[in-house]
């Protein structure tokens, strides 16, 4: 009961608290306290110091443990920098957005924790829809036209997508007709146990609907457009949250249905769908990197790319699956770093257009260097984590039965790297006509410190590669019934 | 009895596809909400329990009163013109609807030979889902998109009763609450769209692209 | 056997005799609903009498088509009338497949009328004929999907048998019949040029559909046209009312009572609809007709897949 209180109820209570207490500083302290508690508890659950036993429709297994840790890690850092972010001047209209910022952030934590810990499809659906509801007003933080449009599109597209996922869940019920599961509740574990008895046609339909519906939220092509708009127009901490954890919250739904489909004859079919989704996302990122002229959109496409890579790894299975799990954690941290530094650049140059940002390295050296470093991190340059996870995915691809996929994805990744590099080096080095911004006057802020800490964390995890994480990922693969 | 109500549900779908006023959509939403509440209240006629009646009553309140009233309020507040502004001719739209419905009925009949399911509510629900998507695709006004989304949700609900899946009441209530809040947020967004973007239709949304 | 023929003849005479009364009833009710006193119920009879006495004048450019058209029109409609049951009497003409004859003999009436309208060469009448033909195209599927679905369910193909076989012991059957009657009502409105589709009282040629086609007729020709119009309205009313016969025990007296009450209710409904609705825009009419067809298709689907 205690962990249920910390993971789900406490954020909810603190979000209600934020509704009544309007002082930003108090809100911030409370939210930070909640996030630290959440992080500590999820870390101790992950390390095995605390045995979690949740009531109702919630439970903990290796997968949810792992994803919950990623969530609370990302959330903690985002909350940490939120206050200094909120202090930045905005238009008078946007002042109103600050009032609800922490409220929604706390609600976001509730919804996401509930979605990750749920062991019942209905509960998962409700929580996943709630995450959309919490994030949509946050996208509208700046109260300008672009943000409004992004919010509308995101809300609408994702709601329709989630509705489709619900159809998939209903199909899953249908697939249980005539088996032991008929008339029972939609608990994950029961389905996994009796997966072989499910009707394959409905199971396939269910997989397609759930995958297509949730991919609006995961941001996999071809349903990525709402996500791209939202991520690129949201304030940077929110964008970091979305890229780092919200997408994984939806990915967990796909993983659950995959876990059910794993022992059945439909597994090959599901694999192909996932591989197509992953490759298509890489392709979309590859195409749009050529023409993108907005650096936040560029980062959003980079998210599409990496989620595509994760999906690809999951689809191929085996070693690539392990790589994908590692990739999930490294990607989430790197995305936070990238979006926070990009947010700094945005607040300095007041523009998201690449052409308006010139010689960033001279005008804001700290942010500039950090941005460059995080670009290396996301591109998979050692010693940052992504390098190791990508290597694992590639290894898995190479030893799978379809090594051709490896060449295709390497090709896409190469060009994505080149184009991203071109854009980022232009921003950092190119001399512009409006260089009236003073050089080298950037103060060392709190955000910089957190970014540095995060980069160190990323490297440390990758280099030391704690046995706990490895063991947990192995447990996840065992749950999926894969032999390495 | 469920079949009869599903047929009425289908009729409301036909009506919505020829209706050219926003008000017609709201009326249809109310009607569908009523039909759905009656469908789920039927089992309780024989086996009455206070606990079981909560869901139908909530459904009735949310789908028949709260949401339509809210949409009406938005229409009044924003002074939205009453025509729906379709992008294709209504006749073509209705033809499309009929063809899709025939296909859905035939396919679900074929499927029902393998799995035991209630063909008419199943096919009606699925038709509502498809028609909801058509409405979103072929109408310009954003408020009509919201109505289309709600028709889609109603379809899913009917569909759910057809496959006889019984979710726990807490979760059903959660779903209802989610849908309500979605509509609420969409209403707020519409309010803002009309004041900042000066328009109620999709042409006002064209800023974000690559 | 002779009794049946006698009954058939009486049915025909009822249809021929009371059809103007039905039209008068609708007009009277409509007047009352709009707050006027209105013409007496017998007014259509006076009109017909007046027309009967007048001289017939044909345009000089018209050919023989114009001369034979009113007669053919009247005769075909009268033949169609002989196929309908009143009460539980077997109609004069009844055989397997007469449902198709019924549809196309009315089609013939329409065809010859359109031909006659174009024969004179007036641009208005040509326009009316074009509209009539277009809307008839959309109206025909309604008939076949409505009556056709009942035929399909009962497995019978004679109008009398179909109506005779309707049973109301099953609740979904009742809904089915109600839906069918909605569709049949829309059909009646269209075929008889009533309000939401066509305004029988309009005075502007440009907005007319049916009325514009008989602008150039007079005297006995106009009499025949008007009379066959009344009969047609009554025929469709019977088609509609017949759906509700089986509520009674199958006795003649109750059948007749249902018939009378049904006619009155139908007239009231038509009058109400005409009072509360305005005429559709010309371009919206096809979708309205398609809507009625859709109902028929829905019926067919439901019954095919629940058997």
- Residue A270 is predicted with a pLDDT of 92
Determine whether the interchain pair C284/B90 forms a contact, defined as Cβ–Cβ distance below 8 Å: yes
Calculate the average pLDDT of chain B.
86
- Residue A440 is predicted with a pLDDT of 58
Going from the C-alpha of A8 to that of each of A17, A57, A252, the distances in angstroms are 15, 12, 18
Separation of alpha carbons B13 and B134, rounded Å: 12
pLDDT in tens, A405-464: 899 999 999 999 999 999 999 888 888 766 555 565 678 888 899 999 999 999 998 888
Q: What's phi and psi for A364, nearest 5 deg? A: -135, 80
Domain count, chain A: 1
Query: What is the 8-class DSSP label of residue C84?
Result: S
Confidence of residue A88 (pLDDT cuts 50, 70, 90): confident
- Residue C213 is predicted with a pLDDT of 84
pLDDT over 90 percentage in chain A: 52
Residue A149 maps to a domain: no
pLDDT in tens, A280-334: 999 999 999 998 888 999 999 999 999 999 999 999 888 899 999 999 999 999 9
- A329, A410 contact by CB (below 8 A): no
- A106, A78 contact by CB (below 8 A): no
3-state helix, strand, coil in chain C (%, to 5): 75, 0, 25
A-C interface (Cβ pairs under 8 Å ≥ 3): no
Query: Token pair for residue A330?
Result: 């490294």
pLDDT in tens, C85-94: 887 778 888 8
- Residue A411 is predicted with a pLDDT of 93
Is residue C168 pLDDT above 70, yes or no? no
3-state SS of A334-373? HHHHHHHHHHHHHHHHCCCEHHHCCCHHHHCHHHHHHHHH
- Chain B positions touching C293 (Cβ under 8 A) are 98
Cα distance from N-terminal residue to C-terminal residue, chain B:
52
Residue A372 maps to a domain: yes
Residue ranges of the domains in chain C?
2-306
pLDDT in tens, A200-215: 888 999 999 999 999 9
| Higher pLDDT pick, B23 / C252 | B23
- Residue A78 is predicted with a pLDDT of 93
Separation of alpha carbons B115 and C215, rounded Å: 62
Domain of residue A423, residue span = 266-484
- A476, A257 contact by CB (below 8 A): no
Query: What is the 8-class DSSP label of residue A313?
Result: H
- Residue A127 is predicted with a pLDDT of 92
Query: What is the 8-class DSSP label of residue B69?
Result: H
What value does the mean pLDDT take over residues A188-195? 84
Determine whether the interchain pair A183/B166 forms a contact, defined as Cβ–Cβ distance below 8 Å: yes
Going from the C-alpha of C238 to that of each of A275, A326, C19, C156, C270, the distances in angstroms are 64, 76, 10, 19, 14
- Rounded to 5 degrees, what angle do the CA atoms C274, C279, C280 make? 135
Determine whether the interchain pair B120/C302 forms a contact, defined as Cβ–Cβ distance below 8 Å: yes
Separation of alpha carbons C290 and B143, rounded Å: 26
Going from the C-alpha of B127 to that of each of A4, A156, A231, B93, B106, the distances in angstroms are 40, 20, 33, 14, 12
What value does the mean pLDDT take over residues C124-144? 88
ipTM entry: 0.93
CB hemisphere CA count around B149 (13 angstroms)? 24
Confidence of residue B164 (pLDDT cuts 50, 70, 90): low
Instruction: Count Cβ neighbours within 10 Å for each residue of A140-173 and write b for 16 or more, e otherwise.
Output: bbbbbbebbbbbbbbbbbbbbbbbbbbbbbbbbb
List B139's β-bridge partners, or say none. Answer: B86
Residue B147: asked if its preceding bond is cis (omega within 30°), the reply is no
Confidence of residue B165 (pLDDT cuts 50, 70, 90): low
Query: Residue A223: helix, strand or coil by DSSP?
Result: coil
Write out the residues of chain C at the interface with chain B, using a CB-CB cutoff of 8 A.
Answer: 171-172, 175-176, 179, 284, 286-288, 290-291, 293-295, 297-298, 301-302, 304-306
- Chain B positions touching A202 (Cβ under 8 A) are 115
Separation of alpha carbons B158 and B141, rounded Å: 26
C284, C297, C306: residue with CB nearest B98: C297
Residue B151: asked if its preceding bond is cis (omega within 30°), the reply is no
Handedness of CA B121, C290, C300, A171 (dihedral sign): negative
Determine whether the interchain pair B210/A167 forms a contact, defined as Cβ–Cβ distance below 8 Å: no
pLDDT in tens, C47-71: 999 999 998 888 888 888 888 999 9
Q: Which residue on chain B is closest to A129 by alpha carbon?
A: B178
Longest dimension (CA), chain A: 74
| Higher pLDDT pick, A298 / A401 | A298
- Chain B positions touching A285 (Cβ under 8 A) are none
Chain B interface disruption, residue of A152, A154, A200, A288, most B CBs within 10 A: A152
């Amino acid at each position: 009961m205690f962990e249920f209180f910390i993971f789900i109820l406490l954020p909810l209570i603190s979000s209600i608290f934020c509704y009544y207490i309007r002082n930003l500083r108090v809100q911030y302290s409370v939210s930070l306290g909640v996030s630290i508690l959440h992080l500590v508890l999820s870390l101790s659950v992950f390390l095995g110091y605390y045995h979690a036993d949740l009531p109702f429709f919630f439970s903990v297994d290796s997968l949810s443990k792992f994803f919950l840790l990623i969530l609370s890690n990302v959330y903690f850092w985002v909350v940490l920098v939120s206050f200094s972010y909120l202090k930045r001047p905005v238009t008078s209209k946007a002042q109103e957005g600050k009032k609800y910022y922490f409220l929604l952030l706390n609600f976001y934590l509730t919804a996401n924790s509930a979605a990750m810990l749920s062991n019942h499809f209905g509960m998962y659906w409700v929580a996943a829809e709630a995450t959309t509801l919490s994030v949509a007003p946050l996208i509208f933080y700046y109260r300008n036209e672009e943000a409004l449009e992004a919010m509308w599109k995101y809300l609408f597209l994702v709601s329709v997508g989630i509705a489709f996922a619900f159809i998939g869940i209903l199909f899953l019920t249908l697939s249980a007709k005539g088996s032991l599961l008929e008339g029972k509740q939609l608990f994950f574990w029961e389905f996994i146990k009796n997966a072989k008895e499910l009707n394959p046609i409905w199971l396939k339909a269910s997989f397609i609907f759930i995958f297509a519906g949730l991919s609006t939220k995961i941001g996999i092509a071809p349903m990525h457009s709402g996500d791209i708009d939202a991520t690129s127009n949201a304030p940077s901490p929110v964008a970091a949250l979305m890229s780092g954890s919200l997408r994984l919250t939806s990915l967990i739904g796909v993983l659950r249905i995959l876990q059910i489909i794993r022992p059945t004859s439909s597994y090959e079919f599901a694999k192909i769908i996932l591989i197509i989704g992953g490759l298509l996302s890489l392709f979309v990122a590859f195409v749009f990197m050529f023409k993108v002229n907005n650096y936040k959109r560029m980062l959003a496409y980079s998210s599409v790319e990496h989620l595509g890579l994760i999906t690809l790894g999951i689809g191929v299975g085996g070693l690539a699956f392990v790589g994908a799990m590692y990739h999930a954690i490294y990607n989430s941290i790197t995305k936070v770093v990238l979006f926070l530094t990009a947010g700094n650049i945005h607040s300095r140059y007041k523009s998201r257009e690449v052409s308006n940002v010139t010689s960033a390295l001279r005008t804001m050296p700290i942010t500039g260097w950090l941005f460059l470093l995080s670009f290396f991190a996301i591109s998979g340059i050692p010693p940052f984590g992504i390098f190791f996870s990508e290597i694992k995915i590639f290894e898995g691809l190479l030893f799978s039965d379809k090594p051709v996929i490896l060449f295709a994805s390497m090709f896409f990744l190469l060009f994505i790297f080149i184009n991203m590099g071109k854009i980022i080096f232009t921003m950092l080095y190119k001399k512009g006509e409006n260089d009236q911004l003073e050089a080298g006057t950037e103060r060392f802020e709190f955000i910089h410190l957190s970014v540095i800490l995060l980069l160190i964390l990323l490297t440390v995890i990758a280099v030391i590669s704690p046995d706990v994480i490895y063991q947990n990922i192995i447990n996840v693969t065992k749950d999926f019934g894969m032999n390495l | 009895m469920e079949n009869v109500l599903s047929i009425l549900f289908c009729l409301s779908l036909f009506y919505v596809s020829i209706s050219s006023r926003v008000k017609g959509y709201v009326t249809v939403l109310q009607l569908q909400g009523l039909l759905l509440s009656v469908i789920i209240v039927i089992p309780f006629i024989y086996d009455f329990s206070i606990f079981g009646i909560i869901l139908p009553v909530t459904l009735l309140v949310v789908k028949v009163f709260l949401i339509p009233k809210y949409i009406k309020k938005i229409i009044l507040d924003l002074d939205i013109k009453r025509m729906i502004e379709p992008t294709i001719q209504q006749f073509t739209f209705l033809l499309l609807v009929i063809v899709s419905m025939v296909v859905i009925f035939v396919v679900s009949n074929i499927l029902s030979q393998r799995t035991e399911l209630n063909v008419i509510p199943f096919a009606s629900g699925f038709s509502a889902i498809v028609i909801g998507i058509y409405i979103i695709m072929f109408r310009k006004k954003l408020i009509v998109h919201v109505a289309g989304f709600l028709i889609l949700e109603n379809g899913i609900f009917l569909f759910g009763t057809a496959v006889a899946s019984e979710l726990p009441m807490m979760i059903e209530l959660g779903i209802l609450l989610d849908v309500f809040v979605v509509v609420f947020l969409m209403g707020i967004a519409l309010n803002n769209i009309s004041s900042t973007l000066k328009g109620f239709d999709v042409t006002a949304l064209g800023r974000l692209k690559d | 056997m002779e009794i049946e023929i006698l009954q058939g003849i009486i049915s025909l005479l009822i249809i021929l005799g009371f059809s103007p009364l039905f039209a008068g009833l609708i007009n009277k009710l409509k007047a009352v609903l709009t707050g006027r006193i209105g013409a007496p119920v017998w007014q259509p009879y006076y009109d017909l009498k007046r027309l009967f006495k007048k001289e017939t004048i044909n345009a000089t450019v018209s050919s023989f088509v114009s001369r034979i058209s009113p007669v053919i029109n009247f005769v075909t409609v009268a033949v169609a009338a002989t196929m309908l049951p009143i009460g539980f009497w077997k109609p004069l003409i009844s055989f397997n497949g007469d449902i198709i004859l019924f549809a196309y003999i009315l089609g013939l009436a329409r065809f010859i009328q359109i031909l006659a309208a174009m024969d004179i060469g007036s641009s208005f009448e040509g326009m009316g004929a074009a509209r009539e033909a277009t809307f008839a195209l959309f109206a025909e599927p309604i008939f076949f999907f409505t009556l056709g679905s009942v035929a399909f369910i009962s497995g019978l193909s004679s109008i009398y048998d179909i109506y005779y076989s309707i049973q109301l012991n099953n609740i979904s059957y009742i809904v089915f019949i109600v839906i069918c009657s909605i569709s049949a009502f829309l059909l009646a409105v269209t075929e008889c040029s009533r309000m939401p589709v066509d305004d029988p009282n309009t005075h502007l040629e440009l907005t007319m559909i049916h009325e514009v086609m008989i602008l150039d007729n007079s005297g006995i020709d106009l009499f025949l046209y008007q009379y066959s119009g009344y009969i047609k309205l009554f025929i469709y009313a019977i088609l509609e009312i017949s759906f509700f016969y089986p509520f009674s025990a199958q006795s003649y007296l109750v059948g007749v009572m249902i018939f009378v009450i049904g006619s009155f209710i139908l007239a009231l409904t038509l009058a109400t609809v005409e009072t509360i609705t305005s005429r559709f825009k010309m371009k919206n009419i096809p979708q309205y007709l398609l809507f009625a067809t859709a109902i028929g298709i829905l019926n067919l689907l439901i019954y095919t897949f629940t058997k």
